Homo-oligomer: A and B are copies of this chain.
Amino acid sequence: MTTNLLEPEIISSTPVAAMMALVYRTSGKGTGKAVWESKPRPTIQHPADAIVRITTTTICGTDLHILKGDLPAVTDGRILGHEGIGVVEQVGSGVTEFHVGDKVIISCVTSCTKCDFCRKGMPGHCRTGGWILGYMIDGTQAEHVRIPHADGSLYHFPEGGDEESLVMLSDILCTGFECGVLNGRVKPGDAVAIVGAGPVGLAVLLTAQFYSPAVLCVIDLDDNRLAVAKQLGATHTINSADGRAAQRVMDLTGGAGVDVAIEAVGMPVTFDICQAILTPGGHLANVGVHGVPVTLHLERLWDRNMSLTTRLVDTVTLPLLLKIVEAGRLQPEKLVTHHFPMGEILKAYDTFGNAARESALKVVLTNP
């Protein structure tokens, strides 16, 4: 009864031109590799589609997972990437909010705006969308991309905006804010611990400050990232290499524990830190992508009035974040450490894939 985005009927017949794109190629034994190759330019396939010429994109940790073979639903030939800024080149007949020439921020989440989940503010679970870009359909690490449900999945780029900064709204800042800060119900005066100082953990750190917590403690194994966290507003940092992170958090909160613990890694050991440091009534907001189950210590937690939340990013807060950037209260570009022209994307992957060695956070690719 709903549109099947994966097997579209072709309703447009623009002559097919070529473009360069970062393509996932299976390498045999379950893993894959990234190839910068020529692909046909995308065309309008549904009335709600738009074609966007990419001017800025970036690489996400999820892209690395795909290359490692962790997401087997990704098929050979898929163009990767779910973040981007660009210019609308073509729109379907049903698109009402965007026109050719509009500069746009692309959400990593495709939203039909009509289904039950979209109407509940959960487009991450959209019946015909959700996270599909660079995963189930071709993505943004290319010169052009087709955006289904364009009216629900694009946002107008503000006049005078900075592309490098605003491409951080495609995914990572929304992820940190929605899954971490909002789900964790961070409030003024709170003690907050963030486990993981990668780009997502740092996005949590930046957006948690909207609510003026009293303590903002960041925990990681990498001293360089902890130093960055300190610059970005952490009141305390803890290197968890010695296995005593939980104890240190209890100490710095006078034995009380934290009001909010945010898991931004996705491993049992980091989840364990979070469940060990909650004050009664505290919130554990999971942001990390987990590959294996965790042990939940309900024998200790059953009476602790805790809440634990999970969430797939919905990017419903993108307009709000945009307002805060425009008001000068958030500088997303602080997450960007490296820049490359889009043609050097393989070099960018190498840098991002060796983040500790390169002191890399987000790498930005431009195609002006």
Contacts and interface: CB of A to CB of B under 8 A. Distances in A.
Interface string A269-298: 001000000001100001011111111111
B305 A307 contact: no
Interface string A166-203: 00000000000000000000001100000000000000
Nearest to A113: B113
A188 B215 contact: no
A152 interface: yes
Interface in A306-346: 306-312, 316, 319-321, 323-324, 326-327, 329
- Of A2, A97, A280, A305, most buried by chain B (CB within 10 Å of CB) is A305
Interface in A76-117: 93-94, 96-97, 99, 112-117
B319 A116 contact: yes
A293 B290 contact: no
A294 B296 contact: yes
A252 interface: no
Nearest to A330: B212
Given A96-B2, A329-B214, A302 B289 contact: yes
Nearest to A311: B305
Interface stretch (A25-33, A118-126, A157-165, A351-359): A118-126
Interface string A118-143: 11111011001000000000000000
A259 to B, nearest CB: 10
Task: Report how many copies the assembly holds.
Answer: 4
Contacts of A64: none
A210 interface: yes
Given A122-B305, A299-B293, A301-B310, A214 B326 contact: yes
B210 A212 contact: yes
Contacts of A310: 298, 301-306
19 contacts: A1-B97, A1-B99, A47-B47, A47-B94, A114-B151, A116-B319, A119-B316, A122-B280, A189-B321, A212-B329, A266-B302, A292-B299, A296-B296, A301-B310, A303-B311, A303-B312, A305-B310, A306-B309, A308-B309
Interface of A: 1-3, 47-48, 93-94, 96-97, 99, 112-122, 124-125, 128, 151-152, 188-189, 209-215, 235, 266, 271, 280-281, 286, 288-299, 301-312, 316, 319-321, 323-324, 326-327, 329
